Amino acid sequence: MARMAAQNRGKNKKALVETYGCQANVNDSQRLMGMLLEMGYTLTSEREEADVILFNTCAVRDGAEQRVFGNLGALKNIAEKRGTLIGVCGCMAQQSAVAQRIRTRYRFVDLVFGTHAQGKFPILLEEALTTKERVCDISENTEIAEGVPTYYGGGAKAFVSIMYGCDNFCSYCIVPYVRGRERSRREEDILAEICALTQSGVKEIMLLGQNVNSYGNDFGEKDAFSRLLRRVSEVEGLERIRFMSSHPKDLSFTLLETMAQYSNIPHQLHLPLQSGSNKVLKDMNRRYSRERYLEIVEYARSLMPDLALTTDIIVGFPTETEEDFLQTCDMLERIRCDSIFSFIYSPRQGTAAAKMENVSTKEEQAERFKRMLELQNTISLDINRSFVGKVQRVLTEGVSKTDAAMLTGRNEANKIVNFPGSEDLKDKFVDVKITRAQTWVLQGELI
């Protein structure tokens, strides 16, 4: 039990973990917080009162990295004034060039460790605190650390990672380089975690993986994800099971049938398309065609006519011409997503696409991005309007951040629903009648 080494280290001390990345990164932060709590620290959200500040970083786009560097710069004063221990971990830190840059340009950073060293965090922290030397661990290690204490946040929803890493090497993407090869957790370990969560009051689980459809491939099993999903659905007391992300190349129709069959799996699917052009999809190394994607959506909707679909789109991939872009718009019109997550292509050093030549200018990319959002906003609003007058089952998350008089929650489709109500409805399911639709939110009233 290496973790025991540092117990009591955090007595009367406070720690802050700031998260910069995706759901997997959020879940990693929850484990880091769990370990800090086990060491005796209390958690804070104030940089000024923290004894330990940890930045859990994301490397997926340049913007994400710049945000981290900007915020890191702002820590220098606090670190010098209060002697705060500063740590940088996660996907950015796993890249040796970044780790090096932090060592030379941000000398007040005491601890740097990558995604692979996460399980060793208590030992690394102990080392940094006792030796007063700067500690760095970006070694590779693909072993799965089970039994790490996790701070889930205390609400009715929880993330559960079912696998780590990625083997797909989409040509634009840094994730396989910073998270290592794909490895799946054992079904029994996942189920044990979920059972414990439901017993502690959790009602909704989001199963996480870069490509959940290839869950279990490393055990040599086919379609193990559909089976896992069925077993999770049968966990007593679990009311909603969601999952992300699905890769169209690996999605099985059995999975769609499972979704249709189990009442606690919402008819909601996040299925990243990335581009609607077969040429660009090929250059992205996505290994499916627009035709295959349409086939999946068509079958899914034949089983679940109320399916809520979301997707990811990259605009301005190096080989994307205006014609290719129009193909993406055409796909968006055909598949009619509830919402999309769209990004302007950002070259990532070391990936295959970073070596490709750009056929479009930055201005063209920005203009396409804007055009696509306008198109999608019309579709999203149109779909949301069809909810007006309908009653939705909403899991309340708490008071709305933008309006203290309103509660906020999510319906089956995972859309944000705001409605007036009292705070004691937090973490409860309620029925809400939708009275007004906006592009990203539904407004309603309790019935």
Q: Give me the least distance between CB of 175 and ligand SAH, in Å please.
A: 6
175 contacts ligand SAH (rule: CB under 6 A) = yes
How far apart are alpha carbons 197 and 127 in whole angstroms? Answer: 32
Kindly tell me which of 163 and 259 has the beta carbon lying closer to ligand SAH: 163
The residue within the footprint of ligand SAH, chosen from 16, 314, 332, 413 (CB under 6 A), is 314
413 contacts ligand F3S (rule: CB under 6 A) = no
Nearest CA among 248, 247, 244, 183 for reference residue 208: 244
Q: Is 420 helix (H, G, I), strand (E, B) or coil?
A: strand
The residue within the footprint of ligand F3S, chosen from 6, 15, 16, 24 (CB under 6 A), is 24
58 contacts ligand F3S (rule: CB under 6 A) = yes
314 contacts ligand SF4 (rule: CB under 6 A) = no
Kindly tell me which of 24 and 125 has the beta carbon lying closer to ligand SAH: 24
Q: Which regions of 40-161 does DSSP assign to beta strands (E)?
A: 42-43, 52-57, 85-90, 111-113, 135-137, 157-161
Whether residue 222 contacts residue 203, with contact meaning beta carbons closer than 8 Å, is answered with: no
25 contacts ligand SF4 (rule: CB under 6 A) = no
Q: What is the pattern of x (binds ligand SF4, CB under 6 A) and - over residues 242-271?
A: -----x------------------------
In the region spanning residues 141 to 200, those forming contacts with ligand F3S, defined by CB under 6 A, are 174-175, 178-179
| Helix, strand, coil share of the chain (percent; to 5) | 40, 20, 40
> Which of ligand SAH, ligand F3S, ligand SF4, none interacts with 39 (beta carbon under 5 to 8 A by kind)?
none
Span near ligand SAH by CB under 6 A; candidates 10-18, 338-346, 368-376, 395-403: 338-346
How far apart are alpha carbons 187 and 3 in whole angstroms? Answer: 24
- H helices within 96-246, ranges in order? 96-105, 121-131, 175-179, 187-199, 224-233
Whether residue 212 contacts residue 244, with contact meaning beta carbons closer than 8 Å, is answered with: yes
- H helices within 141-289, ranges in order? 175-179, 187-199, 224-233, 253-261, 278-283
Could you list the residues that contact ligand F3S (CB under 6 A)?
A: 21-22, 24-25, 58-60, 91, 174-175, 178-179
Could you list the residues that contact ligand SAH (CB under 6 A)?
A: 60-61, 172-173, 175, 210-211, 245, 247, 272, 274, 312, 314, 343, 345-346, 348
